[in-house]
Structure 1
């Protein structure tokens, strides 16, 4: 059984600005700092849990690139509070869980289907896992309203986050 966590792997979230005042906002790169992923070496079954209260703001993104100088510590704290208290309500929903239901080798990677439990809802999803150097990488788009999550919005909706976020999980390839 292969086990992964924030010490040897990473889970990144990318959110994207929207609305009439989007030019005043920032696309964001966030990181989940507490999670556990287990993958059975024989069956390839995957179980993963993520602590949404451990999401931290890494940086703003401008034109698809990291910009580590734009956000102040105060900005990051305010964003963290909005994400954990208002959007994800982590006190009421303290865990995000994924359980694979079907894993199939596809070329040099895998096709993974499973159930994601988040915000009191369960949804089936599918993603591909591909090699990237010495890592396995999975990326998927999550539509927040599918889980009953209302994306962040301010200024009467003139400033908001798009409903789709990109999730990127990277774990080391086992030798």
Structure 2
């Protein structure tokens, strides 16, 4: 039985989501957002015999983010709000015309299928920084998360109300994927 398997990753395999929080004195007015990535692809080479030999790559189209939920806030998130949020993310925050891809490349892995870490390089807007992904494999599911601190990549988190309402600097990235080889 082969201990190394290669899996194609992307929307057909499951979900890749980003979760934002709020900060500042006006945080009650804003929303905690959940955005899903509609266009992305990648590959995971998983070596159960030697987890350190495993590797992951991914490429994300930041213009494909979709707001799927907006929790909290004084009023409910409207369809117009969702459109405005995506316009701001694409044009002002991530500048997707100039930077049409976000890329991840693993540089090392450790642990077991029940609990592993993948160290890697994440490139956002032309800036590459290290990031740690934590995850697990259970049955045929690969789940996990990483935290990205926007300012480390030169991203200025969104703010409104003269800076009284801000998107938190930390963004959580979560994935839940079916492993079908």
TM-score w.r.t. structure 2 length? 0.86
1:39 aligns with 2:49: no
Contact persistence 2:131–2:148 (CA under 8 A): no
- Give unpaired runs (5+ residues) of structure 1: 64-68
1:125 and 1:72 map into 2 onto residues whose CA distance is: 33
The structure number with the bigger radius of gyration is: 2
Alignment match of 1:28 (pick from 25, 29, 33): 33
2:135 and 2:27 map into 1 onto residues whose CA distance is: 32
Q: How far off its partner does 1:173 sit?
A: 3.2
Partner residue in 1 for 2:50: none
Partner residue in 2 for 1:60: 70
Alignment match of 1:99 (pick from 102, 105, 108): 105
SS at match of 1:157: coil
Matches within 5 A, 1:106-125: 106=112, 108-125=114-131
1:159 aligns with 2:165: yes
1:137 and 1:72 map into 2 onto residues whose CA distance is: 30
- Give unpaired runs (5+ residues) of structure 2: 1-5, 48-52
SS at match of 1:85: helix
CA distances 1:91-126 after superposition (whole Å, capped 9, x unpaired)? 111100001111223362322111111111101112
Contact persistence 2:13–2:179 (CA under 8 A): no
SS at match of 1:59: strand
Contact persistence 2:31–2:77 (CA under 8 A): no
Partner residue in 1 for 2:23: 18
SS at match of 1:79: helix
TM-align CA RMSD: 2.0
Q: How far off its partner does 1:157 sit?
A: 0.3
TM-score w.r.t. structure 1 length? 0.89
2:56 and 2:165 map into 1 onto residues whose CA distance is: 37
